Amino acid sequence: MNKKFKATLQLLGVLILTAAFCVLGYMNANNIKLGLDLNGGVSITYQTVDENPTAEQMSDTVYKLQMKAQSYSDEAQVYKEGDNRINIDIPGATDANAILEELGEPGTLEFADENGNVLLTGDDVKTASAGMTNQNNNKEYVIELVFNEAGAKKFEEATKNNVGKRIYIIYNNEVISSPNVKEAISGGQASISPIESYDEANKIASTIRIGALPVKLTELRSNVIGATLGVEAIASSLKAAAIGIALVILFMLLVYRLPGLASSIALVLYVGLEMVLLQAFEVTLTLPGIAGVILSIGMAVDANVIIFTRIKEELGQGNSVEKSIKAGFEKALSAILDGNITTLIAAAVLYLRGSGTVKSFATTLAIGIVVSLITALFVTRALLYAFLSMGAENPALYGIKKDTKIINFIKFRKIAYLASAVVIVAGFAMLGMNKKNTGYIFNYDLDFKGGSSTTITFDKDLSMEEVDQQVIPLFREATGGDASAQAAKVAGTNEVIIKTRTMSTEERAKLYNSIQEKFSISEDKIVTENISGAVSKEMKTDAVWALTIAIFCMLIYIWVRFRDIKFASSSVLALAHDVLVTVTFYAAFRWAVGSNFIACILTIVGYSINATIVVFDRIRENIQKGEVKKKGLEFAVNEAISNTLTRSINTSITTFITVFCLFLFGVSSIRDFSMPLMVGIVSGAWSSVCIAGPLWYDFVNMSKKRKEKLSAEKGKK
């Protein structure tokens, strides 16, 4: 088999594989789980048995129910309704009775001895989960219990006093398990075994979790609700995706020629493969999730841009096409791996520590990273060698990069620092002004601040289009033009639920009059309740901790990988810069801050760290080549930034194109997500070029001067 024929078969194989994944992804697209905003789901409302629970009890109950509800979907939402009700929305579910049966009715949980003495209550339990162990090569199903600090002490005392006896776990006056105590157990963790089956273990663990709530609840109502966004949202997002992909492919073909064709084929394969994996991993896709996937399309070409820039440089030095391709992949590998591994570490931390939107975002991010690495390092490489073997040996087909003009970024670094500082300080000032004028530093939406939920029973079944055109305008008029209204239909009824910001008594009266006049319905068919934010205080804390730990882990990785804490410190400061600049725009333009805000900030962090590492990789390369000793530290940094400038600009353009398409063709909630992302892309490009490298330069000089000062002081002694 000759080389050309083998290359043709290789190219054909990649094309068939690409077509297969795209067809498979498209044909099974209906199997992708959709969130509550796109597909609707089950809505369950519980009411406390005690009419006057404390705010702390309700907050704790909401958080624990959130953890429980997320076993059905990462996108499940739990929020307060009124003073003593809790609402649970579970996307994708269609059978309310089945969910209720599995979820169970929250009640009272007690641990008691054989004489009926209560040893612990549900308040002492932190969590419970089903598991499996191997005992003498035999599978055993177990229930893993974790107690809080107070519960751990009580449980240790209880087991010490009941060795050889049974402790009864009682839920709503019914014994659900009665394990025998073998020994005193300390440390706050215990296991119950053996359990008959995993399903039985899971059922008991679920009952313990739901019984560990601070208050006793009873079911008030349950409904199947429709999507809060119609087919228009999905259609416009897919349109944005198609146009974005087409523009990115056109850009890559114009700038990178034959390698651009290879990356375009790899990009189409990337899209098909990601769709298949979203189905395989059962990722729940919401509207921000779709936006994240489309954004990852723009970021997927980043590795290709790094490789192609290197290939152009090698061709510019007079090397053959084959040697240039080989060297391009070898020299780009460290930057690609470091950038993607750093972001993957962040995704892992966010998944393990985060909840809800954060966890779903982390899953999508991780899938995107892995797939983009595979397509760039293997598929694009295979295609380039196939083209070469088929006779594409003319360097003009690949583009030749001439000597790079070295720009003195170090000289102008103080101006760059000052420009960024002015924007960030202005942001803090605007946050203060917002706090003074509105009582909040941001324009928080329903997810964070809560609002009012109005249920209207119409005389006929309105379509979502009719709701959008006839009902929503009445709410906007009553609330002074507020655009945050969210509508959903209750399946099998004429009821429509509309959530808005909290309405005053006057606004409610105005709304009720408008609805009665327009639809000729009585006031008793309109019910309004105040609701809490779906993003609880604990979820916010989880998100902040997840982001903090993720940044810390990235810092450690960069420190170890580059063997210099100054690289790690500079990259983290550049990340902080990008987040603060984005926050400035949120404050200045009063962009809505909701659950999407968390995903937006995380996206910017992931994007920015990638760009910064590419610059640092070149600086490290210059140090290894001895450029610092030959031409000085300033030249080494300026050369590294100048050589990566094309990559920084081109990657920013491809990513910006896809996000801009979202802004142009997306629905309002998509625009709210895409606007800050565009700011983050520009800010990330600016910080990686003008801030990160110069910061490292200043840190090195500071360290050098400190060492010289210490040396001089020792000399005097």
Of all residues in the chain, what percent carry a pLDDT higher than 90?
Answer: 23
Instruction: Show the CA angle centred on residue 207, arms to residues 126 and 227, nearest 5°.
Output: 95
**194 upstream amide cis, omega within 30 of 0:** yes
Segment 504-518 mean pLDDT: 89
| Residue 454: both structure tokens together | 């109005």
CATH no. of 451-531: 3.30.70.3400
Taken as a whole, the chain contains a residue count of: 717
pLDDT digits (tens, 9 = 90+) for 104-126: 556 678 899 998 899 998 888 88
- Residue 258 — pLDDT band, cuts 50, 70, 90? very high
- Highest mean pLDDT (candidates 25-39, 280-294, 697-711): 697-711
Per-residue CA distances from 211 to 111, 116, 169, 206 (Å): 11, 18, 10, 8
pLDDT tens by residue, 332-369: 888 888 888 887 887 787 777 766 666 766 777 788 88
- How would residue 227 be classed by pLDDT, with cut points 50, 70 and 90? low
* Placement of tokens 């470091």 in the chain: 338
Residues 6+ apart with CB under 8 A from 202: 130
CATH code 1.10.1740.10 for 41-103: no
**HSE, side-chain direction, 13 A CA sphere, residue 383:** 24
- Rounded CA-CA distance 382/18 in Å is 13
pLDDT of 668 strictly over 80: no
**Burial label, 183 (beta-carbon count in 10 A; 0-12, 13-18, 19+):** exposed
CA R_g for the chain: 29
In the chain, where are the structural domains located? 3-33+231-397, 41-103, 107-212, 413-427+536-711, 451-531
Q: Is the pLDDT of residue 716 over 70?
A: no
Is 636 within 8 Å of 628 (Cβ atoms)?
yes
The answer to whether 381 and 329 have CB atoms below 8 angstroms apart is: yes
Beta strands 109-112 and 168-171: pairing type? antiparallel
What is the reported pLDDT for 208? 83
Instruction: Report the 10 Å Cβ neighbour count for 528.
Output: 17
**pLDDT bracket for residue 597 (50, 70, 90):** confident
pLDDT band at 1 (very low <50, low <70, confident <90, very high): low
Rounded distance between C-alpha atoms, residue 321 and residue 309, angstroms: 13
Q: Identify the pLDDT of residue 136.
A: 67
Q: According to the model, what pLDDT value does residue 232 have?
A: 60
Q: Looking at the domain that runs over 3-33+231-397, which CATH code has it been given?
A: 1.20.1640.10
**Res 551 pLDDT > 60:** yes
**pLDDT at position 106, please?**
62
- The whole-number pLDDT of residue 250 equals 92
- pLDDT above 90 (res 207): no
pLDDT over threshold 70, residue 537:
no
- What is the DSSP-derived secondary structure letter of residue 180? B
- What is the pLDDT of the chain when averaged over all its residues? 83
> Among 193, 199, 173, which Cα is nearest to 109's?
173
Other CB atoms within a 10 A radius of the CB of residue 505 amount to 7
Q: What is the pLDDT of residue 429?
A: 95
Closest CA to 533 of 45, 80, 53: 80
Which CATH code fits 107-212? 3.30.1360.200
Is-same-fold flag (3-33+231-397; 413-427+536-711)? yes
Token pair belonging to 107: 């009640």
The mean pLDDT of 572-595, rounded to a whole number, is 89
pLDDT at 538: 63
Q: What's residue 603's pLDDT?
A: 75
* 500: alpha, beta or left? (left if phi > 0; alpha if psi -120 to 50): beta
570 has pLDDT over 90 = yes
Q: What is residue 71's predicted lDDT score, i.e. its pLDDT?
A: 67
pLDDT of residue 669: 66
| DSSP 8-state class, residue 172 | T
More confident residue, 668 or 260: 260
Pairing of strands 41-48, 217-225: antiparallel
Considering only residues 687 and 219, tell me which one the structure prediction assigns the higher pLDDT.
687
Mean pLDDT, range 452-463, rounded to an integer: 88
DSSP 93-109: ---HHHHHHHH-----E
The better pLDDT of the pair 488, 187 is held by: 187
Q: 313-330 as b/e, with b when 16 or more CB fall inside 10 Å?
A: bbbbeebebeebbbbbbe
Q: Among 50-64, 231-245, 446-460, 554-568, which is the least confidently predicted range?
A: 231-245
Specify the residue for token string 């009585």.
522
Mean pLDDT over 140-158 rounds to: 91
Mean pLDDT check: name the lowest of 134-138, 639-643, 707-711. Answer: 134-138
The topology under which CATH files domain 413-427+536-711 is Multidrug efflux transporter AcrB transmembrane fold (1.20.1640)
Share of the chain above pLDDT 70, in %: 89
pLDDT at residue 605, rounded to an integer: 79
Residue indicated by tokens 């379509």: 463
pLDDT single digits (tens) 38-92: 667 787 888 888 878 888 778 778 877 877 777 677 677 788 877 888 888 887 7
Cα distance between residue 401 and residue 311, in whole Å: 9
pLDDT digits (tens, 9 = 90+) for 288-338: 566 567 667 766 788 888 899 889 888 888 899 999 999 999 988 888 888
DSSP state string for 592-637 = EESHHHHHHHHHHHHHHHHHHHHHHHHHHHHHHTTHHHHH-HHHHH
Distance, CA of 586 to CA of 675 (rounded, Å): 10
599 has a pLDDT exceeding 80: no
Q: How confident is the model at residue 103 (pLDDT cuts 50, 70, 90)?
A: low
